[in-house]
Structure 1
Amino acid sequence: MDFTPLSRFIDRITAWRIPWAELLVMHRNETVFRYRAGFADLEAKTPIEEDPMIYLYSLTKILTCTAALQLVEKGTILLGDPLSAYLPEFAEMEVRKKQMDDSFATELAERPITVRDLFTMTAGFSYDLAAPSIREAVERTNGRLPTREFAMALAKEPLLFEPGTRWNYSLCHDVLAALAEEVDGRRFSAYVRAEITGPLGMRDTGFDLSEAQRSRLVPQYQYDDALGKTVPMDGDWYRIGTEFESGGAGLLSTVSDYSRFPNTLTNRGTSPEGVRILSAASVDLMRCDHLTELTRSDYNWAHHAGYGFGLGVRTHISQAGSGSLSPLGEFGWSGAAGSFAIMDLESQLTVMYAQHLVNNQEPYVHPRLKNIVYACLK
C-alpha cells in the first residue's frame, strides 16, 4: 500500500483554503496511514499537533443512533413505536400545510411520529435552533435548556410535513437523545459515557471539556469568499444551552479517540479488545437503506449520489450512481466543520478525517478523499 497520493492531497487542500487537516486510516485494526498538515492557528502559524480537540458536530449522530440502537437491543424501545409512547408532548402534532391561496395553516398530523422517523430523518422537524418555542425555553431555563426541555419545546413547533412522507435533515437525533434520557433515566452524557465511550476507552470524547482538554481545543475557521481568505469563527453555535447535550451535534473529541468508535462498528459492533457495544445484526440494520419511494427523492445531496440513508448514516447502494471506489455497504457520516468517517466491513477499513472549517468544502474534499484511500489500498 502506497499512501503518497493521500499525503499529497492533504498538502494540496491545506495549501488551498482549509487551515489544517488530519487523516487516520485503519485496515484490519492496524493504523496503516496517518498524516496531518497545516496550521492549528493561522494567525500564529502554529503547526497542527497530535490530538487537537475539535467539534465533531454531526459525527455525533452516529454515536447517538448507536446509543438508541442499544435500547432497541434491550427491548426498551422499538423502531415502530409511536414517539409519544415515551415523550407524550409529541402525541398531537400540528403540520404546516399550504392552502389554496398559497398561505399556510396548521392541521393535526394524520400519522404519529415513530421512533424510526427519528433515526431516519423523516419526523417532519426542521433544523431551526432559533424557533420561537426553543428561544422561549432557553429564556425560561435561564440559558440551561436541558436536553429533555429542548424536546418539549420542539414539540410546540409545527411539523414541515406529515411524518414518514419526506426526508429532511433536521433535529431528529437531538430528540433521539432526549428519548434515550427519558427511557433510561440518566442524562444522555452519562449514558454515553457508561455504555459507549467508557467501555471503549474514549477518554477525550464528551459534551464538555476539562480545563486540560480546553487548552487543546483548536481554533475554528470559515472561508470568507469576499475577502478571499480564511478567518476565525469562534464558538459552537449548536450549544444553545449549558445543559443541552445535542445528540445531533454536541460531541467534541480527537482523531485518535473518536476513531475507536467507528472502528468498532467496522468490526460489527465489537472492538478489537473484545468490548461489544452493538450486535452485528444491529450494525447491519444501521447500514441498511431505509429510504422509501416517498422519501428517496429528498435525499438528493450531489456528493451523496449513489448512497441511501440508514439509521443515521449514509450507506453505499450504487457504485454506478456514486462513482465511488468503495464497495457497496460502506457507510458513515460527516460533521459541519468537515470531519468525516468511513466504515467498511467488507474491506475491514476505518477512516477518520478531521478539519475545522465550517463552510467545509465537503462536496469537493470527501468524495476525492474516499477514492484516493481506496486506490491506495489496491
Structure 2
Amino acid sequence: MDFTPLSRFIDHITSWRIPWAEVLVIHRNETVFRYRNGCADLEEKTPIDDRRIINLYSLTKIMTCAAGLQLVEKGAVLLQDPLSAYLPEYAEMTVKKTLPDGTVALEKAERPIAVRDLFAMTAGFSYDLGAPSIRDVVRRTEGKVPTREFAAALAKEPLLFEPGTRWNYSLCHDVLAALVEVVDGRTFGAYVREQITEPLGMRDTGFDLSGEQLSRLAPQYEYNDALGKPVRKDGNGFRIGTSFESGGAGLLSTVSDYALFLNALTNLGTSPDGVRILSPVSVELMRTDHLIEEMRGDFSWVQLAGYGYGLGVRTHISKAESGSLSPHGEFGWSGAAGCLAIIDPASRLTVMYAQHLLNNQEPYVHPRLKNIVYGCL
C-alpha cells in the first residue's frame, strides 16, 4: 500500500479553500494510514491535531439508525409498525397536495407513517427547522426543546407527500431519536452513551461537552467567496434547543473516536475486541438499498450517482453509474461540515475523513477521496 496520493490530495485541498483536513484509514482492523494538514484555528495558526472535537452533523444519522436497529433486534419495535403506536400524535397526519388548478390544499393522509419510513427518509417530512410548530416549541420550552417535545411539535406540520411513496432528506432521524426515547425510557443521549459509545470505548462522542472537551472543540468556518477566504462560523444550527439531542445532526466527536463505531459496522456489528452493537443481519439490512423506482429521482445528488439509500446510509449499487472504485455494498454517509464515513465489509476497510468547513465542497472532495483511497490499497 502506498498512500502518497492520498496525502497529496489532503495537501491540495488544504492549500485550496479547506482550512484543515484529516483522514484515517483502517484495513483489517489495523490503522494503515493517518494524515492531516492545515490549521484548526486560522487566526491563531494552530496546526490541526488528533484530539480535536468536531460537529459530526449528519454522520450522527448512522449512529441513530444503529440505535433504532438495536430496538428492532430486541423485538421492541418492528419496521412495519405504525409510528403512531409509539408516538400517538402521528396518528392522523395531513399532506400538502397540489390541485389541478395549481393551488395547494391540505388533505388527510391516506397512509400511516411506518417506523421504517423514519429510517429510510420516506415519512414525508421536510428539513424546515423554521416551521411554525418548531418555532413554537422553542418559545414554549424557553429554548430547551427536549427531543420528545420536538417530535410532538413536528407532528403538527403537514407532510410533503404520502408516507412511503417518495424520498426526501428530512428530520426523520430526529423523530427516530424520540422513538428510541419512548420505547426505551432513557433520553436519547443516555441510550447512545450506554448502549453504543461507552461499550466501544468512545470517550469523546456525545451531544454535550465537558469543560475539557470544549477546550478541544475545533473552530468552524464557512468559505466566503466574496472575501476569497474562510471566515469563522461556530455553532450548530441544527441544534435548536439546549436539551435537543438531535438524532439527525447533533453529535460531536473526534476522528479517532468515531472511527471505532464505523469500524464496528465494517466488522458487521462487532468491534475487534468483541463488543457487539449490532448483529450481522442488521448491518446487512442497514446497507440494503430501500429505494423503490419512484424514489430514484428524489435521491439525485451528483456525488451519490450509482448509490441507493438504505437505513440511514448511502449504499453502492452501480459502478457503471458511480464511477467509484469501491465495491458494491460499500456504505456510509457524510456531514454538513464535510466529514465522510466509508464502511466496506467486503474490503474490511473503514475510512473516517474530517474537516470543519460549512459549504464543504462535498461533490468535489468526497468522490475523489474515495477513489484515491481504493487506488492506494
Counterpart of 2:118 in 1: which secondary structure? helix
How far apart, in 2, do the equivalents of 1:49 and 1:172 lie?
34
How far apart, in 2, do the equivalents of 1:101 and 1:211 lie?
57
How far does residue 263 in structure 1 lie from its aligned partner after superposition?
Answer: 0.1
Task: Tell me what 1:358 maps to.
Answer: 358
TM-score (norm 1): 0.99
Counterpart of 1:334 in 2: which secondary structure? coil
Task: Tell me what 2:73 maps to.
Answer: 73
Task: Tell me what 2:116 maps to.
Answer: 116
How far does residue 297 in structure 1 lie from its aligned partner after superposition?
Answer: 1.6
How far does residue 44 in structure 1 lie from its aligned partner after superposition?
Answer: 1.4
Task: Tell me what 1:244 maps to.
Answer: 244
Counterpart of 2:201 in 1: which secondary structure? coil
Note if 1:371 corresponds to 2:376: no
Q: Deviations over 1:255-279 (max 9, x none)?
A: 0011000000000100000000000
Counterpart of 2:242 in 1: which secondary structure? coil
How far apart, in 1, do the equivalents of 2:221 and 2:103 lie?
39
Counterpart of 1:298 in 2: which secondary structure? coil
Task: Tell me what 1:93 maps to.
Answer: 93
Task: Tell me what 1:213 maps to.
Answer: 213
Task: Tell me what 1:156 maps to.
Answer: 156
Structure 2 unaligned blocks of 5 or more: none
Structure 1 residue identity aligned to 2:327:
P
How far apart, in 1, do the equivalents of 2:197 and 2:10 lie?
29
Q: How does 1:154-193 map to 2 (within 5 A)?
A: 154-193=154-193
How far apart, in 2, do the equivalents of 1:103 and 1:26 lie?
53
Q: Deviations over 1:329-364 (max 9, x none)?
A: 000000000000000001000000000001000000
How far apart, in 1, do the equivalents of 2:81 and 2:293 lie?
21
Task: Tell me what 1:63 maps to.
Answer: 63
How far does residue 100 in structure 1 lie from its aligned partner after superposition?
Answer: 2.5
Task: Tell me what 1:224 maps to.
Answer: 224
Q: How does 1:265-304 map to 2 (within 5 A)?
A: 265-304=265-304
Q: Which runs of 4+ in 1 moved over 4 A?
A: none
Larger mean CA deviation between 99-108 and 280-289 belongs to: 99-108
How far apart, in 2, do the equivalents of 1:50 and 1:194 lie?
25
Counterpart of 1:218 in 2: which secondary structure? coil
Note if 1:331 corresponds to 2:342: no
Count of residue correspondences: 377
TM-score (norm 2): 0.99
Note if 1:7 corresponds to 2:46: no
Structure 1 residue identity aligned to 2:248:
G
Task: Tell me what 1:234 maps to.
Answer: 234
How far does residue 118 in structure 1 lie from its aligned partner after superposition?
Answer: 0.4
Structure 2 residue identity aligned to 1:41:
D
Q: How does 1:1-40 map to 2 (within 5 A)?
A: 1-40=1-40
How far does residue 101 in structure 1 lie from its aligned partner after superposition?
Answer: 2.5
Structure 1 residue identity aligned to 2:176:
L
How far apart, in 1, do the equivalents of 2:100 and 2:312 lie?
36
How far apart, in 2, do the equivalents of 1:40 and 1:298 lie?
36
How far does residue 293 in structure 1 lie from its aligned partner after superposition?
Answer: 1.7
Structure 1 unaligned blocks of 5 or more: none
Q: CA RMSD in A?
A: 0.6
Q: Deviations over 1:190-245 (max 9, x none)?
A: 10011000100000000000000000001100111122111111211111011000
Larger mean CA deviation between 289-298 and 342-351 belongs to: 289-298
Counterpart of 1:152 in 2: which secondary structure? helix
How far apart, in 2, do the equivalents of 1:336 and 1:152 lie?
25
Task: Tell me what 2:260 maps to.
Answer: 260
Task: Tell me what 1:310 maps to.
Answer: 310
Counterpart of 1:297 in 2: which secondary structure? coil
Q: Deviations over 1:129-166 (max 9, x none)?
A: 11100110111011111000000000000001111111
